């Protein structure tokens, strides 16, 4: 059984006050996330990530399609016992202290008062909220609220964890802590589904990713397998060669001088660079480094955003530009 499964999940909002028009926030998302995976749900701002998470939490209802968590339809109270959710830019009852909030959340799971307190303490320790836990949440900074949000999501030691932009609002140290926390969750066997527009987060954490742009899934799979992220050439750094010698090498796409006799050569994917390397070395050059050139996720975003265009309206031609509808 998959931890999360969606089938043609679609959400249209109606926008515009005088003349409401449908707007595609999410279109036909089909995904499955296996248990125990750390799954990165990636996409630029406005791609439909939060919409997807809200659909999975049944905060909104789909226009069409279907979603399941742990084999049960979303919204099932029994399933909610086994999951945790961190909303985007979380906000909580601001008259409560962090400790009280966590105890209340624990009480909703039916834990005894004693257990609520123990769990609250443990989770707040885990996310690095110290003595501030006795302060009312209205006095918390964005980053601290984010940590409290993570703590409340984990109060029940969930089997499936949903994080919407878990790193947002955190300083670099905080980001590293959250990365470690996610890896600890994985080691415990939990499934972690998190959204992010920051690609390095995903590259450091995920086994699987899905990329959404403009409300549509554009690719999914192993990060390294993603077609769009395949190696597209080689970057060769050589020392001890003369400019003339380099100019005579066939098939070099670009040459950049980076030192007195140091050059960066950009080579195509084929032929493989071994042959060329051997020739150069035979001519007395020394190898500094050889690296594959990949598209970064950034490149992919940029390309996909351009390709997906802005067409998210449904019927009327003037609904084509979302800017005009927001």
Interface residue with ligand ADP among 49, 80, 123, 147 (CB under 6 A) is: 49
10 lines the binding site for Mg ion (CB under 5 A)? no
Residue-wise DSSP of 37-50? -EEEEE--TTSSHH
Tokens of 45: 């701002």
How near is the Cβ of 49 to Mg ion at its closest, in Å? Answer: 5
| Partner from ligand ADP, Mg ion, other proteins, none binding residue 81, C-beta < 5-8 Å depending on class | other proteins
50 lines the binding site for ligand ADP (CB under 6 A)? yes
Q: How far apart are CA 291 and CA 268, in angstroms?
A: 12
Nearer to other proteins, 53 or 167 (CB): 53
* Angle of helix 98-108 versus helix 142-153 axis, rounded to 10: 20
Q: Rule CB under 8 A: which residues touch other proteins?
A: 13, 54, 57-61, 77-78, 80-81, 83-87, 89-95, 104-105, 107-110, 149, 152-153, 162
90 lines the binding site for ligand ADP (CB under 6 A)? no
Residues 6+ apart with CB under 8 A from 124: 98, 99, 102, 133, 148, 151
Nearer to ligand ADP, 193 or 234 (CB): 193
Tokens of 124: 């707040």
50 lines the binding site for Mg ion (CB under 5 A)? yes
Alpha carbons within 13 angstroms on the beta-carbon side of residue 128 total 14
| Among the residue ranges 48-56, 94-102, 153-161, 285-293, the one whose residues contact ligand ADP (CB under 6 A) | 48-56
How near is the Cβ of 56 to Mg ion at its closest, in Å? Answer: 13
The torsion defined by the Cα of 75, 81, 82 and 84, in degrees rounded to 10, comes to: 80
CB of 123 closer than 8 Å to CB of 155? yes
Question: How many residues line the site for ligand ADP (CB under 6 A)?
Answer: 14
How near is the Cβ of 77 to ligand ADP at its closest, in Å? Answer: 25
87 lines the binding site for ligand ADP (CB under 6 A)? no
Residue 88: CB atoms within 10 A of its CB come to 16
What pairs with residue 255 in β-bridges?
Answer: 265
Positions in the binding site for Mg ion (CB under 5 A) = 49-50, 88
Positions in the binding site for ligand ADP (CB under 6 A) = 13, 15, 23, 25, 43, 45-51, 322, 326
């Amino acid at each position: 059984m998959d931890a999360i499964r969606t089938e043609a999940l679609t959400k249209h909002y109606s926008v515009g006050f005088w003349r409401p028009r449908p707007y595609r926030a999410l279109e036909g998302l089909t995904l499955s996330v296996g248990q125990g995976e750390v799954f990165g749900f990636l996409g630029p701002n406005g791609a439909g990530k939060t919409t997807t998470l809200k659909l999975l939490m049944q905060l909104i209802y789909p226009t069409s399609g279907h979603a399941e968590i742990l084999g049960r339809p979303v919204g099932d109270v029994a399933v909610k016992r086994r999951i945790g959710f961190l909303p985007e830019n979380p906000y909580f009852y601001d008259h409560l202290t962090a400790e009280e909030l966590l105890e209340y959340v624990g009480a909703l799971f039916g834990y005894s008062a004693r257990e609520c307190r123990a769990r609250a303490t443990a989770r707040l320790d885990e996310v690095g909220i110290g003595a501030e836990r006795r302060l009312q949440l209205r006095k918390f900074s964005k980053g601290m609220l984010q940590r409290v949000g993570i703590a409340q999501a984990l109060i029940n030691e969930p089997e499936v964890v949903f994080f919407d932009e878990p790193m947002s609002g955190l300083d670099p140290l905080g980001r590293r802590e959250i990365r470690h926390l996610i890896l600890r969750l994985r080691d415990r066997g939990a499934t972690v589904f998190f959204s992010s527009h920051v690609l390095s987060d995903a590259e450091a954490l995920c086994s699987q990713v899905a990329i959404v742009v403009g409300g549509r899934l554009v690719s999914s799979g192993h990060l390294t397998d993603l077609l769009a992220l395949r190696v597209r050439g080689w970057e060769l750094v050589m020392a001890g060669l003369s400019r003339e010698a380099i100019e005579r090498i066939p098939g070099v796409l670009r040459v950049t001088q980076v030192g007195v006799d140091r050059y960066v050569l950009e080579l195509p994917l084929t032929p493989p660079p071994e042959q060329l390397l051997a020739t150069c070395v035979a001519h007395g050059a020394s190898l500094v480094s050889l690296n594959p050139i990949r598209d970064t996720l950034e490149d992919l975003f940029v390309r996909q955003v351009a390709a997906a265009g802005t067409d998210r309206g449904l019927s009327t031609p003037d609904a084509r530009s979302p800017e005009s509808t927001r």
